[in-house]
C-alpha cells in the first residue's frame, strides 16, 4: 500500500528537505553579495577621491545634506566590515574637502557612508569594471562646488562632461607668454610625472611605486628649470592624484607649453630588462616590440586610474597626422636625441636611439613631446638606484642638460604675437 502524504514521518522529512533547500538558496544569495576588499582615500589640492573596491559590482544611491555639509552614499548588497568601519582613519587633517568619514549598516543589506565636508562639493560618483589587479570599484570624486581659478579643474570638468577637445587651437596666450620663447619670454616646459593617485604605475620588487619616484624626479627638475634665467616649468600633477591622459595634454596646450616631457620608470615582463630610454610619438606604429608594450601599459593608465566615461577627446582617437603633427614629431625626435645623449652618461641605455610608439600622452599636435623612461623599476638593481635621492637629482639634471643642448643646437621656438 502506497505511503500517504499525510504520514507524520513523511511530512517531517519533506519539511527538513525544504528547510535544507532554503538554507542552501540563502547561502547562494549571500555568496552573490559583494564583499568589500579595500577602501582608499586620495586627497589632493585639485580633488579628493574615495574608492571602494569589491568582489562584485556595487549599486549605490547618493544625496547631499546641508548644515552641516555632508555627502551620503548608500551602498547596496554589502555588509559592514572592518575596512568600511576604519574609513575615518584614512581622512587626514590636510584633506581640503573631507572633515571626517564614517560608515554603518543602515539596513540589513545596505551600508551607509557619510562624508562630513569642509566645504560645498560637486560629487562625481561612478563604478568601474575590473582591470589589472583591481576588482570592481565604486569611485567618489569630490570637486569644489564653487568655480575656481585653477585651470586644471576647468579641464577636468570638460573631460568629465565629454567636452575636452585637443584638436582645437590652444587658447590665446596671455601677455607674459607673448614673443619669442627664450628671448622675449621664458621657454615654457610642461613636466608630466606619470600615473598618480589610484594608478600606481609599475611596482618594483621592493614594493616601490613608479608614481612616487617620478614625482620626486619631476619636482627636482622643475626647481632646476625655474632657476634658469630664460625657462619656466609647470607640472601636470604636483600631488599624488590621478589626472587622465587627455587632460595632461590639454593642460600643456592650455598653458602654451613649448615642450612636454613625460617622466616614467616602467616595468617589463622580465626583471632582466634594464637601462634608460626616450620615446617620441610614432606616425606608423611602434619601432620595437618593447616600445609597443610600454606604450600599451602607459595608455592603459586611464583604465587603471579610473575615468567616469570614455573621453571624447577626438585627437587621442585620431589616426591621421597633418603637416603640423609631422613637424612636431621631427622636433620631438631631435629633443629626444639630445636628452638620450645626456642620460647615457648617467645610466646604461636600453636602446641607443629614440624609439617611437603610439603614446597617448605625447599626442599634442603642436608641442614637441617626449617620454623619458628613467630606468626599469622592475629590475632590482635599477629599483635600488631609483630610490637613491642622488640618482634622482642626477637624472633630473641630465634631462635638463638634454633640453639645453636641444636649444643650443638651434631648435626653432614658437613666436606668439
Of the two residues 416 and 108, the one the predictor is more confident about is 108
Q: Residue 184: its pLDDT value, please? A: 73
Strands 231-235 and 98-107: unpaired
* Cβ partners under 8 Å of residue 379, min gap 6: 271, 272, 273, 274
Q: Higher confidence at residue 180 or residue 300?
A: 300
Confidence of residue 162 (pLDDT cuts 50, 70, 90): confident
Neighbours of 70 (CB within 10 A): 15
3-state SS class at 353:
coil
**Over the Cα atoms of the chain, what is R_g?**
26
Mean pLDDT, residues 278-291: 88
SS3 209: strand
| pLDDT tens digits along 13-24 | 444 444 443 433
pLDDT at 129: 95
Residue ranges, comma separated, of all CATH 3.40.630.40 domains in the chain are 173-416
pTM: 0.86
Q: Where residue 287 falls among pLDDT bands split at 50, 70, 90?
A: confident
Side-chain half-sphere CA neighbours of 351 within 13 A: 16
Q: Residues of CATH 2.60.40.3500 domain(s) within the chain?
A: 36-144
CATH class of residue range 173-416: alpha beta
CB atoms < 10 A from the CB of 153, how many?
17
- Residue 410: pLDDT band (50, 70, 90) is confident
pLDDT attached to residue 385: 97
Residue 174: what pLDDT? 46
Best-predicted range by mean pLDDT (9-18, 78-87, 159-168): 78-87
The mean-pLDDT minimum among 18-32, 132-146, 193-207, 326-340 falls in 18-32
Contact 109, 60 (CB under 8 A): no
Q: What is the pLDDT of residues 40-53, one digit of tens each?
A: 999 999 999 999 99
The 10 Å CB-count burial string (b at 16+, else e) for 6-25 is eeeeeeeeeeeeeeeeeeee
Architecture in CATH of 36-144: Sandwich (2.60)
pLDDT given for residue 25 in this prediction:
36
Helix (H) or strand (E) holding 279: strand 277-281
Go through the chain and tell me how many residues it has.
417
- The residue behind cell 569644489 is 144
Give me the sign of the Cα torsion angle 298, 303, 305, 309: positive
Q: Answer whether 100's CB lies under 8 Å from 92's CB.
A: no
Shortest CA distance to 283 belongs to which of 329, 226, 333, 347? 329
Determine contact, residues 188/179, Cβ cutoff 8 Å.
Answer: no
Whether 340 and 353 have beta carbons less than 8 Å apart is answered as: yes
Q: Three cell numbers at 232?
A: 619656466
Say what the pLDDT of residue 81 is: 96
Residue 36 has pLDDT above 60, yes or no: yes
* Whole-number pLDDT of residue 326: 81
The predicted model gives 392-406 an average pLDDT of 97
Helix (H, G, I), strand (E, B) or coil at 204: coil
Cβ atoms of 321 and 275 within 8 Å: the answer is no
Amino acid at each position: 500500500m502506497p505511503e500517504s502524504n499525510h504520514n507524520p514521518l513523511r511530512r517531517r522529512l519533506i519539511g527538513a528537505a525544504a528547510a535544507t533547500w532554503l538554507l542552501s538558496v540563502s547561502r547562494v544569495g549571500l555568496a552573490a553579495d559583494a564583499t568589500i576588499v579595500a577602501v582608499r582615500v586620495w586627497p589632493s589640492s585639485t580633488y579628493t577621491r574615495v574608492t571602494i573596491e569589491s568582489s562584485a559590482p556595487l549599486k549605490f544611491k547618493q544625496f547631499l545634506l546641508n548644515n552641516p555639509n555632508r555627502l551620503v552614499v548608500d551602498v547596496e548588497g554589502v555588509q559592514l566590515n572592518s575596512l568600511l568601519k576604519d574609513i575615518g582613519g584614512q581622512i587626514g587633517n590636510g584633506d581640503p574637502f573631507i572633515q571626517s568619514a564614517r560608515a554603518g549598516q543602515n539596513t540589513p543589506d545596505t551600508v551607509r557612508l557619510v562624508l562630513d565636508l569642509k566645504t560645498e562639493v560637486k560629487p562625481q560618483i561612478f563604478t568601474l569594471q575590473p582591470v589589472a589587479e583591481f576588482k570592481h570599484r565604486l569611485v567618489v570624486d569630490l570637486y569644489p562646488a564653487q568655480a575656481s581659478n585653477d585651470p586644471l579643474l576647468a579641464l577636468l570638468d570638460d573631460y568629465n562632461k565629454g567636452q575636452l577637445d585637443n584638436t582645437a587651437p590652444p587658447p590665446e596666450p596671455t601677455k607674459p607668454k607673448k614673443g619669442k620663447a627664450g628671448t622675449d619670454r621664458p621657454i615654457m616646459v610642461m613636466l608630466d610625472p606619470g600615473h598618480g593617485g589610484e594608478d600606481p604605475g609599475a611596482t618594483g620588487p621592493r614594493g616601490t611605486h613608479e608614481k612616487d619616484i617620478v614625482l620626486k624626479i619631476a619636482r627636482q627638475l622643475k626647481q632646476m628649470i625655474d632657476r634658469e634665467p630664460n625657462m619656466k616649468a609647470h607640472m601636470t600633477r604636483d600631488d599624488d592624484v590621478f589626472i587622465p591622459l587627455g587632460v595632461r595634454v590639454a593642460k600643456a596646450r592650455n598653458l602654451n607649453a613649448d615642450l612636454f616631457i613625460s617622466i616614467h620608470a616602467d616595468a617589463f615582463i622580465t626583471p632582466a630588462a634594464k637601462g634608460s630610454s626616450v620615446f617620441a610619438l610614432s606616425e606608423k606604429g611602434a619601432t620595437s616590440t618593447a616600445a609597443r608594450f610600454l606604450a600599451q601599459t602607459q595608455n592603459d593608465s586611464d583604465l587603471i586610474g579610473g575615468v567616469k566615461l570614455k573621453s571624447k577627446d577626438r585627437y587621442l582617437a585620431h589616426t591621421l597626422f597633418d603637416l603640423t603633427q609631422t613637424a612636431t614629431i621631427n622636433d620631438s625626435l631631435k629633443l629626444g636625441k639630445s636628452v638620450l645623449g645626456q642620460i647615457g652618461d648617467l645610466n646604461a641605455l636600453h636602446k641607443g636611439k629614440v624609439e617611437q610608439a603610439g603614446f597617448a600622452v605625447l599626442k599634442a599636435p603642436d608641442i614637441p613631446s617626449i617620454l623619458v623612461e628613467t630606468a626599469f623599476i622592475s629590475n632590482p638593481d635599477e629599483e635600488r638606484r631609483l630610490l637613491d635621492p642622488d640618482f634622482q637629482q642626477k637624472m633630473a639634471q641630465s634631462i635638463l642638460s638634454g633640453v639645453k643642448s636641444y636649444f643650443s643646437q638651434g631648435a626653432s621656438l614658437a613666436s606668439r604675437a
